[in-house]
Amino acid sequence: MSVASLRLGTRGSKLAMAQSGQVADALTARTGRPVELVEVVTAGDRSSAPVHRLGVGVFVSALRDALVAGTIDFAVHSYKDLPTATAAGLHIAAVPPRQDPRDALVARDGKTLAELAPGANIGTGALRRIAQLHALGLQLSVTPIRGNIDTRLTRVLGPEADLDAVVLARAGLARIGRADVITETLDPMLMLPAPAQGALAVECRADDPDLVELLATLDDAPSRAAVTAERAMLATLEAGCSAPVAAYAELAEGDAGDEIYLRGAVISPDGTRDIRLSRTGTPADAAEIGKALAAELLDLGADSILGPQGHDGLGTQQFGSTE
């Protein structure tokens, strides 16, 4: 007798379909269960508004509604799209191995960021990236853009290109097989990633223990610990900070076992002010490390870092689509 396919809900973009397909293939390989992709259209997919004005969770609420309604069995999200508040009745059953979380530059003529001329027009959809580009002091002209990866790439590489460069998540480009267009992978010292960038969240209903156990076979403990630290920092800051937030946790071997090294930053939208701190601890204390680093950032005035755009409600709602 054939085994029923599990229904995996996904957005319909090339990136979402690619990463959902990769999770489906991995689950089938691990467990033998067939998986069927079910496309779900989200409010973020229907809107043409700038990403940072759409609001937290706009790319995931429809998927979560479908989970609650039982029309899909589980969903795959770009983890950085998820609100930090937990969703009642739902459970993150797995965080698969994280892709490289760094940002990537795609520029004309193979140029790096330092090789772009003053006044060069660079596009990105994330307020976090805009703020950090301004903070570099390279006299670049930054243009807010949105759209899927291919749409953004045509702004630089297409016959009607109108930008000198774009900044995208390296993970997204890699997942759709377009890493070849990257002209520079940006050092986190220059461009600290968004919390949970490059990570996926595999979510299902909490009252389905068999599926929770099945999906847990995809979980990667180091990736989960890093993301937990970054998102705990973000969640703590959201209560008192409306400036762009960046975080990057790395796991390394320490004298007494594995350690987490978490870097966090709060940057004014115009790039004129920033606070950057780091903290270390054990993977078991990932959430506490993130909370403690956020508390230190707030003590140093993170909630007062507001640029000219700081009062228009952008807040930490900067994490649109991974694309």
CB 278 within 8 A of CB 192: no
**Residue 212: phi, psi to the nearest 5?**
-55, -45
**Residue 162 falls in the annotated catalytic set:** no
CB 107 within 8 A of CB 127: no
pLDDT exceeds 80 at position 3 = no
Question: What is the percent of the chain with per-residue pLDDT over 90, rounded to a whole number?
Answer: 77
pLDDT for 306 equals 63
pLDDT for 50 equals 44
pLDDT for 254 equals 79
Question: What is the percent of the chain with per-residue pLDDT over 70, rounded to a whole number?
Answer: 88
Least confident of 58-67, 147-156, 200-209, 314-323: 314-323
Domain assignments of the chain as residue spans, ordered by start: 6-96+199-219, 103-185, 228-306
pLDDT for 241 equals 76
pLDDT for 319 equals 38
pLDDT in tens, 7-57: 999 988 899 999 999 999 999 999 999 999 999 986 544 444 444 444 445
User: Shortest CA distance to 171 belongs to which of 44, 14, 323?
Assistant: 323
CB 145 within 8 A of CB 165: no
CB 241 within 8 A of CB 234: no
CATH fold label, 6-96+199-219: D-Maltodextrin-Binding Protein; domain 2 (3.40.190)
152 burial via Cβ count (<10 Å: 0-12, 13-18, 19+) = buried
Which one from 81, 103, 164, 274 is the annotated catalytic residue? 81
Q: Any idea which residue has 């990136």 for tokens?
A: 15
Q: What's the Cα-to-Cα distance from 234 to each of 15, 59, 62, 224, 293, rounded to whole Å?
A: 24, 18, 23, 15, 10
Contacts of 125 (CB under 8 A, 6+ apart): 50, 51, 52, 144, 145, 146, 147, 152, 320, 321, 323
Q: Fold identical between 6-96+199-219 and 228-306? A: no
CB 72 within 8 A of CB 40: yes
CATH 3.30.160.40 applies to domain 228-306: yes
Predicted structure pTM score: 0.89
Q: What's the Cα-to-Cα distance from 309 to each of 269, 300, 313, rounded to whole Å?
A: 7, 21, 8
pLDDT for 206 equals 97
Q: What's the Cα-to-Cα distance from 106 to each of 109, 154, 168, 298, 305, rounded to whole Å?
A: 9, 11, 8, 34, 29
pLDDT in tens, 78-90: 999 899 988 999 9
pLDDT exceeds 90 at position 130 = yes
Q: Any idea which residue has 């220059």 for tokens?
A: 190
Tokens representing 147 are: 């759209």
pLDDT for 240 equals 72
Check residues 131 and 320 and name the one with the higher pLDDT. 131
pLDDT for 100 equals 97
CATH fold label, 103-185: D-Maltodextrin-Binding Protein; domain 2 (3.40.190)
pLDDT in tens, 255-304: 878 999 999 999 999 999 999 999 999 999 999 999 999 999 999 999 88
Contacts of 168 (CB under 8 A, 6+ apart): 103, 104, 106, 124, 149, 152, 323
pLDDT for 4 equals 86
CB 165 within 8 A of CB 106: yes
SS3 assignment, position 234: helix
Least confident of 127-136, 235-244, 273-282: 235-244
Task: Supply the mean pLDDT for the chain.
Answer: 89
Least confident of 124-128, 199-203, 317-321: 317-321
Beta strand pairing status for 74-78 and 200-205? antiparallel
H-assigned helices in the chain = 14-31, 43-46, 51-54, 61-69, 127-135, 149-157, 170-175, 209-215, 221-238, 286-299
